[in-house]
Amino acid sequence: MLIESGMLQKIERQTSWARLETRKPSSAELFSSVVGFLRQQYLIIAVTILVALGLGIVYLFSAKSTYTATASLIIDSRKNQLFQQQSVLGDIPVDSSSVESQVQILKSESIALAVIKELNLSDDPEFSGSGGGLIGTLIGSVTHLFSSSSPNSDFEATRRTVEAFASRLAVRRVGLTYIIEIAFSSYSADHAAQIANAVADAYVTDQLEAKYQATRRASFWLQDRIKELRNQASVAERSVVEFKAQNNIVESGGRLMNEQQLAELNSELVAARSKVSETKAKLDRIESILNSESPEATVDATVTDTLNSPVVTKLRSQYLEIASREADWSRRYGVNHQAAVSLRIQMQGIRASILDELRRLGESYKSDYQIATQREASIQKQLSTTVTESQATNQAQVSLRDLESSAQTYRALYDNFLQRYMESVQQQSFPITEARVITKASRPLRPSAPRKGLVLALSGAVGLLLGLGLARLRDLSDRVFRTSEQIETILEADCLAVFPKIAREAKPAAVPQPTAPPNSRIIQRNDGLFWHVIDEPFSRFSESIRSLKVATDLHNLSRQNRVIGFTSTLPNEGKSTIAGSFAEQLAMSGARTLLVDCDLRNPSLTRALTPQAKSGLLEYLAGNTSIADILWKDQTTNLDFLPSVVKTRFAHSSEVIGSDAMKEMFDGLLKVYDYIVVDLSPLAPVVDVRVTTKFIDSYIFVVEWERTRIEVIQHALGVARGVKERMLGVVLNKADVNRLGRYGHEGYYYQNPYYSRYGYSD
């Protein structure tokens, strides 16, 4: 039943921890873990930061001050082309790529060599020697040790100067603008400004020289090309003149004569045809009127020319007037009235006169139509003759156009190249470049390096990062127990209590001790830690003992828990002190308690409580004495103690502890005592504890705070499975109260100043 209960508790504990592992930690838990880590490792972090700051201060005092001067120039996208329309070089548009190209030109070796030569920097110790300051001197000394002893050649000296120059020069583009900053660093403020300006001037001079050389080469080429084009243009123009003379091609006003004649004849032909159509229309109209049988048609007919004829107009007016009168009289006096008849006779006469006048006009229109027709035929004949003559000229015109096109092309090329040549000649003397200096470098007022604030900030940051790294390595390598959470997580066991470390100093007994008679088995009090729970009942140690008793009492509710064994992984972890104090606490509570020293290899309880004992557990198991003859009593608490007197060391202690006689002894003692507290040997050195599962109900495992390695504890419990299955819990012993607060909440409890109100003391 005990094994089944232990297994059930183990399964429940593993299930709860599995649930915790699947749950993501909250922000408060993360913050708490970070704060706990910093509180644990703050010392190594602080020391590392101080060391890094110290190194930074040493660097600040040893490094030589460096001054940086800056000059600015602009790559002008709107170049000043004073007497030129377009560069013969075909200027590249100023864009981001071209500006970055100019930055690289400024960093080039040609600019560096020009400045070095101009300022004679090869003889300057700043460029040819070692760097300044303590660090530069050390680097120079180390480099000198590994370099050859032969003197440097001029080439090597120049290369070193160029490398030093390039390392101090910084060229960058300002944002997305066309402005370029040239910064140079030197140990001298004046020297830095001088070299920065020299770099800008060398760049402008290099640009001018490049343009001059390119323009000069282009001029030579253009000169040769112009001669060739001039000869080709002359030959082509002579060919055009000769061809015109051979084919009788004459031009007037930029047009050929036959083309002008064709245009004029076409215009005359169109006019003649229009005239023929017009006269024919008039003739047809007047003939239709004359051929009409209606008398009224003669009077009412409208022909354009009749309206212009005064005779017809006058006759028509008379006719209309008489017709009006005839109609009026006929209405008044009747149609057959003599006056109406007379008027109608006059109307007939007027119509006959109008008809005669229209016949005369018809003859005139017929004559005009004949004349227009003859003129159209004449113009058509002249046009046909001219077209025939123009066809021959047009055939020659094709060849002429080819010759003229060739001549014009050669002439245009010649003129263009001649213009370009004149421009190139002018550009050779123009001091114009796309770059110009907009800000001259001036002497800096303060050094640019080392920057004290930045160096100290970087030193602190590096120290912080390094300190955190060292702290993390220490945290990972520091595999010891400090908190109850570690116990519960790693060992999957309950942490019953955390015991503070107690100084071994003499204190007066809280309870007066009676004088024991000689040869009596009364435990004599001394100044050991076993009596601390009695002498200091309100101490943190005593409160931890009481919490251990409460855990034992609660465990008794689920199973029998009368025989309690105390063990540890290694010796000197304080298991014997806690076992004795726990037994005293049980006895003071009124329970019949027996403390048994079962550490046969090192019976420390026997030496501390009953150093004068002559017989004990071994003698009883051997049948040489009775229980009553070997028990010792503490008169203050009525605690009984069964010592183990080991006169000589022996190797078969596990056989003695695991014997049937030992089991029978504990069975008999349980009839007399309520609790039996057993001090056992450590797990790691000996195997005695593994055989005690026959008579031990529960084990309390003692772990020394910040000393015993986790791997050792896990291995010891791994090989003693019976002990682990019956383990009531684990206690942390010898905890440093002042440092405990860095690792968990227990330290806060111990360090709370209000504990004194409840009577607690150190």
pLDDT of residue 2: 35
Distance CA 523, CA 612 (A): 10
Q: Which residues contact 718 (CB under 8 A, 6 or more apart)?
A: 724
pLDDT of residue 20: 42
- Is residue 498 within 8 Å of 739, Cβ to Cβ? no
Cβ contacts of 27-36, under 8 Å, gap ≥ 24: 36/742, 36/743, 36/744
pLDDT of residue 137: 55
Q: Where are the domains of the chain?
A: 257-398, 484-512+537-758
Q: Please give the sequence-ordered ranges of beta strands (E in DSSP) within 511-658, or none if there are none.
A: 563-568, 593-597, 632-634, 639-642
Q: Which CATH number fits domain 484-512+537-758: 3.20.20.70, 3.60.20.10, 3.40.50.300, 3.90.1150.10?
A: 3.40.50.300
- Is residue 616 within 8 Å of 624, Cβ to Cβ? no
- Is residue 73 within 8 Å of 437, Cβ to Cβ? yes
pLDDT of residue 641: 93
- The residue with tokens 């609790």 is 675
pLDDT of residue 508: 47
Three-class secondary structure of residue 437 per DSSP: strand
Distance CA 184, CA 650 (A): 85
Angle separating helix axes 96-106 and 189-246, nearest 10 degrees? 130
Positions in the chain whose pLDDT score sits under 70: 1-25, 29, 32, 36-37, 40, 77-94, 129-152, 247-259, 292-309, 389-398, 400, 424-432, 477-478, 504-520, 526-528, 557-559, 741-762
Strand order in the sheet with 179-186: 169-173, 179-186, 67-75, 435-439
